[in-house]
């Protein structure tokens, strides 16, 4: 494909697709497509509720070459499709490729000779070619690497991170043949100042993406196990980690809840495909179990803290500060704070949740949690600092507590002397 005649459609306008569409709009005609008409309306008005793109950049892109649409027929004008839809897991933690397959079926309706279809969604090794490529062939009557071509360039977006942004993170690119891989390199080089790394095959690129987040999951699980171990020894694990980190080659991770769409999800894709290939990845699976069990562990620590101070959980007024899966970010995907809320509520505590970063409607519809608009002072038996949003670090959160109330810090974000317990 000639880069000068390219018309790009980015399918999926969430945390990954929108920054891509805005960046490419400085160079090429872009269609930002999403099946969520409400989302498309907001973006067309210059509003991004994910906060991944600032209003000035979004407006500039709209003034340039970016159009948004929820109408499938508008995809017919494209000759390069970039698919950035979610790839979650089901209730049994098996890969759920339905959104990816649905987007692929949509693109297949408009696929033409010479077109390139690029996937950025995280998948297990082999899925892009064996599942997506096969679907495109069967539904379009076109032949891969003869009539159309496949690319895979895994997203590396870190929601809420304003330092490691799209342009300054090295982009991995790959293709169904060498020509397509080089096309992706040329294409993404227009928007990636950090440069592109050409993986030898699509499967290598898929596998690399999977292990990036799996490595973090395993390292955090190690820290969580240290947390549990040192708590039994009455040793502050954060003091231990800070001390160990004085050595140059110590990797400083911290314990805590693992949420979001990447670290808590991607390992299951790797586990699935590994088992399909005949190997059970014991270390990865154990790390996942440790991190999945953390909400229950946190709840047990809360109950122990209250018991040690002769406070009963039934009818206790508890305030959870923070609901999003990470600080200073509105992303609620796979937040484990919801699990803690559910466990404490099941024990008949009266639990309020406050988070100005989270969307109240999304919190209610997706998690069944009604956000507290403004916590009352001198009102709570226990305050849990769950997500260290900047506002919680600059205000005196103990003001929410009754005179003998307790404050537990899940992230070690507050001064040690200010809290009654920290993980």
The residues annotated with a catalytic role in the active site are 262
Run of H or E residues at 383: strand 380-385
Residue whose C-alpha is closest to residue 241's, from 222, 264, 215: 222
* E strand or H helix that includes residue 203: helix 202-232
| Rounded CA separation 318/400 (Å) | 10
**Which of 103, 93, 179, 108 has its CA nearest to residue 138?**
108
In 233-293, where does DSSP find H-type helix? 237-244, 266-276, 282-292
Q: 104: alpha, beta or left, given left = phi > 0 and alpha = psi -120 to 50?
A: alpha
Reported for 211-217, long-range contacts at CB under 8 A and 24+ positions apart, including other chains, are 211/270, 212/156, 212/266, 213/122, 213/262, 213/263, 213/265, 213/266, 213/267, 214/266, 214/267, 214/270, 214/284, 216/253, 216/263, 217/258, 217/263, 217/264, 217/266, 217/267, 217/284, 217/287, 217/288, 217/291
Pick from 39, 18, 266: which is nearest to 159 by CA? Answer: 18
**Residues 79, 117 contacting (CB under 8 angstroms):** no
């Amino acid at each position: 494909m000639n880069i000068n005649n390219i018309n790009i459609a980015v399918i999926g306008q969430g945390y990954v697709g929108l920054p891509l569409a805005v960046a490419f709009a400085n160079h090429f005609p872009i269609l930002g497509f999403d099946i969520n008409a409400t989302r498309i309306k907001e973006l067309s008005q210059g509003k991004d509720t994910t906060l991944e793109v600032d209003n000035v950049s979004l407006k500039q892109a709209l003034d340039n070459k970016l159009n948004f649409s929820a109408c499938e027929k508008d995809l017919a004008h494209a000759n390069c499709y970039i698919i950035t839809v979610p790839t979650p897991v089901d209730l049994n933690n098996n890969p759920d490729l339905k959104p990816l397959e649905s987007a692929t079926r949509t693109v297949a309706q408009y696929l033409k000779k010479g077109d390139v279809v690029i996937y950025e969604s995280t998948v297990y090794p082999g899925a892009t070619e064996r599942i997506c490529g096969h679907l495109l062939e069967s539904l379009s009557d076109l032949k891969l690497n003869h009539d159309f071509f496949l690319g895979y360039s895994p997203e590396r977006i870190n929601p809420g991170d304003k330092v490691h942004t799209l342009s300054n993170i090295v982009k991995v690119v790959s293709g169904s043949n060498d020509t397509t891989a080089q096309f992706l390199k040329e294409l993404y080089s227009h928007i990636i100042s950090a440069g592109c790394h050409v993986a030898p095959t699509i499967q290598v690129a898929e596998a690399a993406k999977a292990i990036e987040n799996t490595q973090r999951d395993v390292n955090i699980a190690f820290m969580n196990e240290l947390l549990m171990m040192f708590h039994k020894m009455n040793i502050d694990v954060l003091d231990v980690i800070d001390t160990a980190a004085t050595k140059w080659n110590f990797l400083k991770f911290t314990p805590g809840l693992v949420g979001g769409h990447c670290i808590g999800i991607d390992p299951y894709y790797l586990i699935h495909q590994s088992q399909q290939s005949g190997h059970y990845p014991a270390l990865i699976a154990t790390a996942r179990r440790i991190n999945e069990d953390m909400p229950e562990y946190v709840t047990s620590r809360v109950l122990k803290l209250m018991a040690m101070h002769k406070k009963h959980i039934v009818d206790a007024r508890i305030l959870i500060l923070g609901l999003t899966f990470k600080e200073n970010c509105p992303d609620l995907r796979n937040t484990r704070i919801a699990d803690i809320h559910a466990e404490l509520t099941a024990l008949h505590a009266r639990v309020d949740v406050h988070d100005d970063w989270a969307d109240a409607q999304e919190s209610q519809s997706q998690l069944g949690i009604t956000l507290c608009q403004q916590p009352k002072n001198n009102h709570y038996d226990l305050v849990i600092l769950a997500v260290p949003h900047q506002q919680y670090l600059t205000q005196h959160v103990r003001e929410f507590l009754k005179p003998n109330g307790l404050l537990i810090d899940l992230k070690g974000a507050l001064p040690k002397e200010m809290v009654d317990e920290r993980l």
